Structure 1
Amino acid sequence: MLLSGCAQQDDHEAPSADGATGAVRAPRTQHPSQQLPIAAYALSAEEDALVAKAEQQLTRACAKRFSVDYEPPGAGDKGAVGRDEDRRYGVVDAKLASVYGYHLPPDPKVPPARLSSSQRIVLLGQSADGARVERFRGEDLPEGGCTGEARQKARGDFASEDLSGIAGGIDAGSFRPSMEEPEVKAALGQWSQCMARRGHDYATPLDSVGDRRFGDESASKEEREVAEADVDCKMQTGLIEHWVAGESRLQRAAIKKNAAQLGKLKEQQRREIRYARTVLKKGTARP
């Protein structure tokens, strides 16, 4: 789903005639994408981490069936600070903008797992050269090895591409049309005026983040200054709040039209979470 990409929900008042002179909004405690109605039809970060831990426990148990010890890395690690910043509406974190401009923070440096020959065969179902291995010590290996089996049990058995595709379509399909919502258009205009007063000529945040001058490997001083102004103008005009409100209206209409299918998707996710909790609490037996 698009949720965290540069793309509750009570309606907000339209921005004032001079939004840049209004009160600065308090920092948001929730990513903008998470405030959208369609976010209810995706696992939260906490739920996804729970499923990941169950998947790792299933992997460990599977390896044990083949008398292979395996201790998976911790699940649900956040990694580098800011790497998961919500960029649906462009850069929104002033501190990150001052350091990285419109660039994403670097990926956390995670050393690759060192697997023994036996671990590679059992966990991945393949040899060191990538060739598929179907048996180990006289026993049939699951397809994709133990990681494949665990992924299927923890996630695949509860997945439906058709249902998740409906949610993903609503998520992706509401972004561009939301820019034509009257409330959003007014707020975008106020943001553009705010940026112009600071010497930056952009119609929307998509234009500033897509500025070809900022395509270097690292952020220049000018890019950082523009990104900082971008964030400040969003705060001054309340752009993100208005954008979320406008896009939410579009999403609620689409959700209403697809209520039956989305209800099934939500039930699949509930079963996925229940199974993950059962795995972690009682072992690996299927409920």
Structure 2
Amino acid sequence: MLVLLATALAAAGCGADRPDRPDRPDRADRPGSPGSPGSPEGAGARVVPSAADRRYLKRAEQILIAECLRAQGFAYEARTLPDEPPRRFPYVLDDVAWARRHGYGLDEERRIAARKAADPNERYFRGLPPERQKAALAALNGARPEGLSARMPGGGVVVASDEGCTARAQRRLYGDLQGWFAARLTVANLTPLYVPKVREDPEFRRAVGGWARCMAGRGHRYATPDALREALPGVRTRAAEIRLAVAEAGCAGESGLAATAKALDARYGAEVRRRYAGQIATELRLARAAVPRAREVLHRRP
């Protein structure tokens, strides 16, 4: 579909993250995080683009794509992106207050799906004749996936076109299109390199056992948080979802699983970030440099 393909480069690699991964902005003052004083990037890369900066970049890219497509005779509305993505948890839900408000976030996921289904760009694209659909996709993404390539940290190569409105918008913002494409996809695919190591660590497995005993004491018999996730489709009411989420989060803290997972994630994640320090630094550098260009795009629009 048009909208999905319009954001294909931005989404590429994101699907590799587990669906329960938290999405929190990087902090420049977090030890070991990109841009922190102890990070492999050094003192010159301490300014990390804020969440607002990242939103400027995404919004500006949408505006540039819309202008490019309209110039070629296609309708396209720059999409309004949500201020905050759904919160995700890679190992165990560990925030009791969040669980009380959102359960497992299933309502928000349904709202996002509904917004996508009602997207005017999707409706427009579906209403085009087949030949115009083909032309629209070529205008958006280029006629052939050639010109851009990125070797993924977990193996394999992703290729895309360096032509089309998406590539043109990103080149306008980031300048070095190939460098941005490769660095961004690399950074987006780092977590699968260390999340499995955390889950396989004996400390993590022991903590999961304590979590399971805590849950059983509350009347919920699940061997692991993953087993609980698999059972979620059978949860019929919002109240039941919240009760289960609150129990999981409470046991995550009481059993020590939350603290163990956090410590192991930091340890294994730091190893991976050191290995890919160059790509992380490139992504941050290009994003920082693009923020003023994104603001210019936004300021000249009503």
TM-score (norm 1): 0.61
Match of 1:131 in 2: 131
RMSD of the alignment, in Å? 4.6
Query: Comparing both chains, which one has the higher relative contact order based on Cα–Cα distances under 8 Å and sequence gaps of 6 or more?
Result: 1
Match of 2:270 in 1: 252
Map Cα deviations across residues 134-161 of structure 1 (whole Å, 9 max, x no partner).
Answer: 99xxxxx787676774466447936645
User: Structure 1: 5+ residue runs without aligned partners?
Assistant: 8-29, 136-140
- Give the secondary-structure state (helix, strand or coil) at the position aligned to 1:107: helix
Answer yes or no: is 1:233 the counterpart of 2:240.
Answer: no
Please tell me whether the aligned partners of residues 54 and 280 of structure 1 are also in contact (alpha carbons under 8 angstroms): yes
The separation in 2 between residues aligned to 1:132 and 1:149, in whole angstroms, is: 21
When you count helix as a share of all residues, which structure comes out higher?
A: 2
> Cα distance 1:200–1:37, how it changes in 2: closer, same or farther (>3 A)?
farther
The separation in 2 between residues aligned to 1:143 and 1:101, in whole angstroms, is: 38
Match of 1:6 in 2: 20
One-letter identity of the residue aligned with 1:277: R
Matches within 5 A, 1:151-190: 153-154=172-173, 157=177, 160-181=180-201, 183-190=203-210
Query: Larger radius of gyration, structure 1 or 2?
Result: 1
Please tell me whether the aligned partners of residues 60 and 295 of structure 2 are also in contact (alpha carbons under 8 angstroms): yes
The separation in 2 between residues aligned to 1:232 and 1:34, in whole angstroms, is: 26
- Offset of 1:229 from its aligned partner? 1.2
TM-score (norm 2): 0.59
One-letter identity of the residue aligned with 1:271: A
> Cα distance 1:114–1:72, how it changes in 2: closer, same or farther (>3 A)?
closer
Answer yes or no: is 1:206 the counterpart of 2:226.
Answer: yes
Match of 1:10 in 2: none
User: Structure 2: 5+ residue runs without aligned partners?
Assistant: 1-13, 36-47, 143-163
- Offset of 1:247 from its aligned partner? 0.9
- Offset of 1:178 from its aligned partner? 0.8
The separation in 2 between residues aligned to 1:38 and 1:127, in whole angstroms, is: 49
The separation in 1 between residues aligned to 2:197 and 2:181, in whole angstroms, is: 24
Match of 1:265 in 2: 283
One-letter identity of the residue aligned with 1:47: D
The separation in 1 between residues aligned to 2:208 and 2:25, in whole angstroms, is: 18
Answer yes or no: is 1:112 the counterpart of 2:119.
Answer: yes
- Offset of 1:88 from its aligned partner? 2.0
Match of 1:88 among 85, 90, 95: 90
